[in-house]
Amino acid sequence: MREAVSWRLMADPETRDLPSPDDPQPLPLHAAEPSLDAAPSPAAEAPAGTEPAQPARGRRTRRFLGSTPFLVLVAIVVAIVVKTFLIQAFYIPSASMEPTLQVGDRVFVNKLAYDFGDVGRGDVIVFANPHPGATPDRGIIAGFVHWLGEGIGFAQPQDEDFIKRVIGLPGDTIDIRNNVVLVNGHPLDEPYLTAAAEQANGTGMHFVVPADSLFVMGDNRGNSADSRYGLGYVPLDKVIGRAFVVIWPPSDMGGLG
C-alpha cells in the first residue's frame, strides 16, 4: 500500500513536490532569527497612542517661534527693511500742498521710484531739508523708536523733510510773470491749482535750474516756502522718493497723479 501511494505522488505533477509528513520542514527564506545584538525600536517600546518624546530644545524653539516676542521682532525687522529700501510713510505737517494734501494726511513714498527712472515735472516728491539745522539728541533707544515712528508716518522726521511738486528740471529756465509760471518760455498747465493759488504765483521772478537740482513749489502758492522763497533749489541727492498715494485718513485716500 505504501508503494502505491508513493507511485501516485510521483506520477501526479501537481502533488509530487509536496513534502512528506515525515520530513523536517525548512524555515521560509524571508524569516530570520532575531539577533541578540539588535536594539529595540523606540516606536516599538512606546505605549500605544503616544508619540516618541522629542528633545526639550526643539520644543522650546517651536514655542519661541510662535510667541508674541518673536512676532514683534519679525515685524520690526520687516519695518526696517521696508522703510530703508522700499516705501516710507510721510506725515503732512503744513498746508503748503493744499488742496492736494491736507494737514495730517499720511502718504506713501516710493523710495525706488528714481532708481529706475527720472524725476518728472509735476511729480510730488519728498526730500530732505537742503539746509539742515541741528537735530535733537534722543539717545539710542528713543532715537530708534522715533525712527520706526517715522517709517509708519506717526512721527515727524528727526531731520526735517519737505513735500513739494516738481516744477523745473535740471537746466530748465523758470519765469513767473503776472502769476503765470513759464517753463522754458511756455506757460505751465497746472490743473491741480485752485483759482486763489493761481493768483498767488508771483511776478517778476527768473530762475535757471542747476544741472544737479530741481525747482519745486507747493500747490498752495500763497502759503508755501519753496524754491521761490527761502528754500532754493533742491539737489537731486536730497530726494527721498515720490509720493504716490494718500493712505490716511480714509476720507482722503487715493492716488497722487
| Residues marked as catalytic | 96, 164
Q: Are 27 and 21 in contact (CB under 8 A)?
A: no
Residues ≥6 apart with Cβ < 8 Å to 157? 150
Nine cell digits for residue 202: 508771483
Q: Cα-flanking dihedrals φ and ψ of residue 84, to 5°?
A: -75, -40
Residues ≥6 apart with Cβ < 8 Å to 107? 89, 90, 92, 101, 153, 163, 243, 244, 245, 246, 247, 256
Axis crossing angle, helix 68-81 with helix 140-151, rounded to the nearest 10: 70
Lookup result for grid cell 503744513: 94
Q: Are 108 and 124 in contact (CB under 8 A)?
A: no
